[in-house]
């Protein structure tokens, strides 16, 4: 099947009236995407391996292919109300690139695998790149069993419904290099007037839970000066995060909040907000979170509230193999592709930190919008991405 045909088949799964996608892990939509991938693998007579948590690698092992394999692919889950391209573009492109290699008559000396990792976004269980972290050992099965979604469902229970369980994995044994294609989540390729780019690295980033505690009270009868309102402390903290990130050239976002008792006519007793923070290096990230936390604690003292900050998921900075990135960017026809950093986390970063030589290709995003129904890539650029991936894989498979 062509890239366009596969994209057409996958596009309706999990899409809502907003135009966005809800493909959270171990839900009906995400499992339907998983089944779609297995069907496409069967069309191509690939050998499919699945680990206990649902990560999949499908291998093409033609006669004569031996030694450490080349792995490509991405993920099929989405953020809440996410876009179509973040993750699935890399999976569909990998299948299309394999077809293109076969059409060219390429006889690889190494096996080629196409991988799909579960819960890359962390949209349900709050732990980004959950599948790849379990596959590499960066997250232990014991730690994974402690995860629950916002409805209180334990990860192990959600997996068990589909015959899965948080376990260690040998799925990546025999992988010699990983190349992930992804839609760009920014506008750098627009500035470079390029359809394809190569990643140099990933900024360190983390998710931090801010628990603000106060005193519940009546919204009408309680004087403003008598309140201990955690919402005020949270509101100031959101503004502080914005200011500190701007001052440091970093990123800080409070995109999720829970309020107790969540009543219109009640001063809340507790507000929990989740901070997503990213910076150019670990020192800058630590300084950013510390500055936000200090301002929040100072405000809590004035509001008569309390604050506890808990890091839930922190990822180190990633520096992709510079020689590999340079080779991918230059050893092809048509001029060098730009090499640029990204502020978004990816499974490629997890595999890189685990010691697997890793690289990434980006496909141009004309608006820069991502994690949104408005995320987009032009079909012409997607097809250029398929050819760029196939060309890169052909060199790696020699």
Higher pLDDT among residues 58 and 321, named by residue: 58
CB 361 within 8 A of CB 328: yes
138 and 275 in a single domain? The answer is: no
219 and 253 in a single domain? The answer is: yes
In the chain, the number of structural domains is: 2
pLDDT of residue 214: 98
Mean pLDDT, the chain, whole residue set: 95
308 and 330 in a single domain? The answer is: no
Within 8 A by CB and 6+ apart from 89, the residues are 74, 181, 182, 183, 363, 377, 382, 385
What does the block give as tokens for 222?
A: 């309680």
336 and 270 in a single domain? The answer is: no
Region of poorest pLDDT, from 25-34, 122-131, 256-265: 122-131
pLDDT of residue 196: 97
The yes-or-no verdict on residue 332 having pLDDT over 90 is no
337 and 195 in a single domain? The answer is: yes
Q: Exposed, middle or buried: residue 63 (CB in 10 Å: 0-12, 13-18, 19+)?
A: exposed
Supply the DSSP string of 19-74, one letter for each residue: S-B---TTSHHHHHHHHHHHHHHHHTT-EEEE-TTS-EEEEE--TT--SSEEEEEE
331 pLDDT tier (thresholds 50, 70, 90)? confident
CATH at 252 = 3.30.70.360
Strand partners, 116: 56, 74
What does the block give as tokens for 196?
A: 């394809």
Boundary-marking domain end, from 275, 293, 315: 315
Please state, for a pLDDT cut of 70, what percent of the chain lies above it. Answer: 100
C-alpha closest to that of 338 among 325, 347, 323: 325
Please give the sequence-ordered ranges of beta strands (E in DSSP) within the chain, or none if there are none.
47-50, 56-60, 69-75, 112-117, 175-183, 196-202, 205-213, 217-218, 251-260, 266-267, 270-278, 306-315, 318-319, 339-342, 358-363
Burial readout 235-271 (b: 16 or more C-beta within 10 A, e: otherwise): bbbbebbeebbeebebbbebeeeebeeeeeebbbbbb
pTM of the shown model: 0.87
328 and 346 in a single domain? The answer is: yes
366 and 289 in a single domain? The answer is: no
DSSP 17: T
C-alpha closest to that of 397 among 72, 87, 96: 72
What does the block give as tokens for 239?
A: 């503004």
Within 8 A by CB and 6+ apart from 272, the residues are 209, 210, 211, 212, 257, 258, 259
Half-sphere exposure of 158 (CA within 13 A, CB side): 25
130 and 215 in a single domain? The answer is: no
pLDDT of residue 346: 95
84 and 199 in a single domain? The answer is: yes
Strand, helix or coil at 93?
helix
Boundary-marking domain end, from 315, 333, 353: 315
Boundary-marking domain end, from 257, 284, 315: 315
Supply the DSSP string of 327-352, one letter for each residue: HHHHSSSSSPPPEEEESS--HHHHHH
292 and 340 in a single domain? The answer is: no
pLDDT of residue 168: 87
pLDDT of residue 378: 97
- Averaged pLDDT, 70-91: 97
What does the block give as tokens for 321?
A: 């193999």
The span from the CA of 271 to the CA of 303, in Å, is 13
Domain that holds residue 251: 205-315
The span from the CA of 132 to the CA of 126, in Å, is 14
What does the block give as tokens for 277?
A: 């923070």
The yes-or-no verdict on residue 334 having pLDDT over 90 is no
Give pLDDT tens digits for 148-189: 999 999 999 999 999 999 998 999 999 999 999 999 999 999
pLDDT of residue 266: 97
126 pLDDT tier (thresholds 50, 70, 90)? confident
- Averaged pLDDT, 110-120: 97
C-alpha closest to that of 349 among 318, 314, 325: 318
Query: 395: how many CB neighbours lie within 10 A of its CB?
Result: 12
CATH at 368 = 3.40.630.10
205-213 sheet: strands from edge to edge: 251-260, 270-278, 205-213, 306-315
194 pLDDT tier (thresholds 50, 70, 90)? very high
pLDDT of residue 1: 80
288 and 370 in a single domain? The answer is: no
333 pLDDT tier (thresholds 50, 70, 90)? confident
The yes-or-no verdict on residue 131 having pLDDT over 90 is yes
325 and 288 in a single domain? The answer is: no
The yes-or-no verdict on residue 19 having pLDDT over 90 is yes
Query: 274: how many CB neighbours lie within 10 A of its CB?
Result: 17
CB 115 within 8 A of CB 57: yes
């Amino acid at each position: 099947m062509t890239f366009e045909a596969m994209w057409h088949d996958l596009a309706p799964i999990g899409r809502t009236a907003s135009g966005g996608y809800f493909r959270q892990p171990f839900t009906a939509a995400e499992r339907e995407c998983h089944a779609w991938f297995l069907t496409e693998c069967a069309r191509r007579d690939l050998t499919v391996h699945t680990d206990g948590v649902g990560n999949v690698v499908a291998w093409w092992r033609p006669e004569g292919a031996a030694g450490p394999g080349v792995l490509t692919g991405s993920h099929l889950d989405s953020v809440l109300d996410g876009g179509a391209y973040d993750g699935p573009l890399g999976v569909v492109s990998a299948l299309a690139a394999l077809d293109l290699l076969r059409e060219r008559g390429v006889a690889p000396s190494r096996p080629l695998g196409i991988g799909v990792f579960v819960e890359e976004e962390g949209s349900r269980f709050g732990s980004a790149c959950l599948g790849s972290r379990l596959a590499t050992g960066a997250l232990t099965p014991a730690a994974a069993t402690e995860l629950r979604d916002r409805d209180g469902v334990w990860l192990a229970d959600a997996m068990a419904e589909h015959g899965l369980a948080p376990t260690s994995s040998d799925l990546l044994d025999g992988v010699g290099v990983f190349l992930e294609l992804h839609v760009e989540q920014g506008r750098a390729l627009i500035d470079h007037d390029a359809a394809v780019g190569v990643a140099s690295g990933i900024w360190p980033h983390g998710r931090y839970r801010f628990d603000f505690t106060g005193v519940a009270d009546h919204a009408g009868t309680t004087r403003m000066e008598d309140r201990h309102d955690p919402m005020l402390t949270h509101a100031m903290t959101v503004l502080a995060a914005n200011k500190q990130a701007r001052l440091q050239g970093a990123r800080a976002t409070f995109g999720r909040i829970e309020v107790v008792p969540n009543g219109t006519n009640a001063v809340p007793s507790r507000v929990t907000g989740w901070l997503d923070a990213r910076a150019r290096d670990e020192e800058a990230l630590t300084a950013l979170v510390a500055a936000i936390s200090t301002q929040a604690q100072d405000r809590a003292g004035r509001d008569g509230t309390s604050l506890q900050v808990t890091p839930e998921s922190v990822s180190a900075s990633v520096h992709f193999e510079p020689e590999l990135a340079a080779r991918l960017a230059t050893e092809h026809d048509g001029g060098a592709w730009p090499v640029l950093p990204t502020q978004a986390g990816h499974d490629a970063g997890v595999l890189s930190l685990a010691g697997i030589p890793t690289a990434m290709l980006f496909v141009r995003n004309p608006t820069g919008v991502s994690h949104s129904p408005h995320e987009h890539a032009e079909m012409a650029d997607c097809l250029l991405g398929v050819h760029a991936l196939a060309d890169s894989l052909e060199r790696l498979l020699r």
